[in-house]
Amino acid sequence: MTLLENLEWNYSAQINSTGGKVNGLNLTSVFPCIPSAVHNFPSDLLSDHQRENGGILIHIFATVYIFGCLAHLCNRYFVPALESFTERMKIQPEVAGASFMAIGNSAPELFTSLIGVYVSEDDVGVGTVVGSAVFNILFVIGGCILVSPVVLQVEVYPIVRDASFYVISLIPLAIVCMDGKVDWYDALILVLLYGLYMVIIYNSRKIEEKFYCLFPFIVRSEAYKSEIQLPKVGDKAADIDVLKDDDKASEAVESPGEVTYPFYLPSNKVKKVMWIIGFPIIILFWITIPDASKPKKQKWFPFTFVMCMLYMGSFSYALVYFVTIIGFTFGIPDIVMGLVVIACGCNPDAIATILIAKHGKGRMSISNCMGANIFHILLSLGIPWLTRTLITHHGESVAILSGSIKFTILMLIGSVVSMILIFLISRWRLRWPAGCLLILAYICIMTFACLFEMNVFGSYNLPSCG
């Protein structure tokens, strides 16, 4: 570690455990601030004065544009490539969904975490992963309940399985954040826990039968067993990409003289504007990435996978760069930008999940949200931390600079327990009051999390040096 990194880590670890004082000495008077992560990136072309007088709108537009690019990249190319791989390898559907499909849906968070660990060297990755987890578990599930045209009869076993393992995965993360640093064995525990989750998923059918034998009073939902499997995010039937026309473009059949993707102009006015704005990126992807969803190009899925990884790494770097500048301009901590802005934007399938629930597939949507969060916590954080502490910077620790992120994680654990209680009280039949409660809980947790990070309730974090 450099001298500055040592100072930051020592401050973080000690302020987390002592509330800011050691032997009566106020640490904030010794280390008054932490250098902003903006200094770890190339200099912005605009000056502080230009950004404060409207230039920041360029960065905001670029951030929103990148969100759209990542969503389009994942839905159109990356997930179909992973589907082709799992089909060719004949991987069990449950295992494929919990591993490769989870990677496809959670890749933006993983790359953001990697950028946070290796480039910006701040808590933006932790904030993104934790914020995304809160967003999925409360807002997206709440939205699914609200828009569902029928009362959702939730299947008990998948929810209990994923919620229980989710709480288990949050406990070591909370311990790490309270400690203020991540060692290689901490990261290894997270990765091994995901391996254990994969074993459970692989044997899920056997465990499910034993579960219902142990709890015979729990009635299995026949509707759930007979429900058609939720379309994969990359399938054309499930692709809710705003850059395409859902009614015609996604169903267009390639034939001579017929206008097809990506040259089909949507009829909807809003989508037409979005198509025009996103056309340069659409064409770039179309030219450089083989579409593995098409039978003739499925054999190119390894090249598709590599190209998607390169694009996602580049876009994630640009995303963290622009978001860091926005936060720096407005004086918002990097972790808050991760908790709220990047966490909501790095969910390419969130809108699709809610819209699919609107068409009567809410049960599978809820299960999908629960499973994705386990990947977020264990691998999106575990892999970057493990590679840094064990490979690239062997023997070093990764500092958790935020002294209050542990409160957000504890509130998240509480929210999961509360969600299960709401499901129990409603006898696993979810109506609109349950959805409203979950969305209200999301707003409350995010509000308190941001206030904690901005030291409204006490001096838990160092301010940015600016």
Between 251 and 86, the more confident residue is 86
- Report residue 455's pLDDT band, with 50, 70 and 90 as the boundaries: confident
**Average of per-residue pLDDT values in the chain:** 76
pLDDT tens profile 218-245:
766 654 444 434 334 334 333 434 334 4
377 close to 388: Cβ distance less than 8 angstroms? no
pLDDT tens profile 427-437:
888 888 888 88
- Report residue 464's pLDDT band, with 50, 70 and 90 as the boundaries: low
pLDDT tens profile 320-370:
889 889 988 888 888 888 888 887 777 656 666 676 666 666 566 666 677
Tokens 């058609």 sit on residue: 228
Q: What's the CA angle centered on 452, arms 441 and 1, to 5 degrees?
A: 125
Backbone phi, psi, residue 21, to 5°: -130, 140
- Residue 224 neighbours by CB distance under 10 Å: 16
416 close to 166: Cβ distance less than 8 angstroms? yes
pLDDT tens profile 28-72:
444 556 667 777 788 888 888 899 899 999 999 999 999 888 888
Which of 393, 369, 444, 423 lies closest to 133 in space, CA to CA? 369
Instruction: Quote the tokens at residue 244.
Output: 């395409």
Quick one: which H or E segment has residue 430? Answer: strand 429-430
Tokens 């903006």 sit on residue: 38
Which of 432, 466, 459, 372 lies closest to 150 in space, CA to CA? 432
> DSSP letter at 34?
B
pLDDT at residue number 17: 43
pLDDT at residue number 370: 72
Three-class SS of residue 146? helix
Domains of the chain: 33-453 (1.20.1420.30)
- Residue 7 neighbours by CB distance under 10 Å: 14
pLDDT tens profile 65-107:
998 888 888 878 887 887 777 777 776 665 666 666 666 667 7
- Say how far apart CA 195 and CA 391 lie, in whole Å: 20
Quick one: which H or E segment has residue 399? Answer: strand 398-399
DSSP state string for 352-389: HHHHHHHTT-HHHHHHHHHHHHHHIIIIITHHHHHHII
Query: Is 50 exceeded by the pLDDT of residue 440?
Result: yes
Work out the percent of the chain whose per-residue pLDDT is above 70.
74
Query: What sign does the CA torsion over 449, 63, 301, 355 have?
Result: positive
> DSSP letter at 234?
T
- Say how far apart CA 244 and CA 189 lie, in whole Å: 41
- Report residue 213's pLDDT band, with 50, 70 and 90 as the boundaries: confident
Mean pLDDT to the nearest integer, 144-154: 79
Tokens 């605009």 sit on residue: 46
Instruction: Quote the tokens at residue 395.
Output: 């023997």
400 close to 9: Cβ distance less than 8 angstroms? no
- Say how far apart CA 321 and CA 59 lie, in whole Å: 9
- Residue 183 neighbours by CB distance under 10 Å: 17
pLDDT tens profile 363-401:
666 666 777 788 888 888 899 999 998 888 887 888 887
pLDDT at residue number 417: 84
pLDDT at residue number 364: 60
- Say how far apart CA 296 and CA 294 lie, in whole Å: 6
| 74: Cβ contacts below 8 Å, ≥ 6 apart | 104, 105, 107, 108, 233, 234, 308, 312, 348, 349
pLDDT tens profile 263-309:
777 788 888 888 889 899 999 999 999 988 888 888 888 888 889 88
DSSP state string for 446-461: HHHHHHHHTTSSS--S
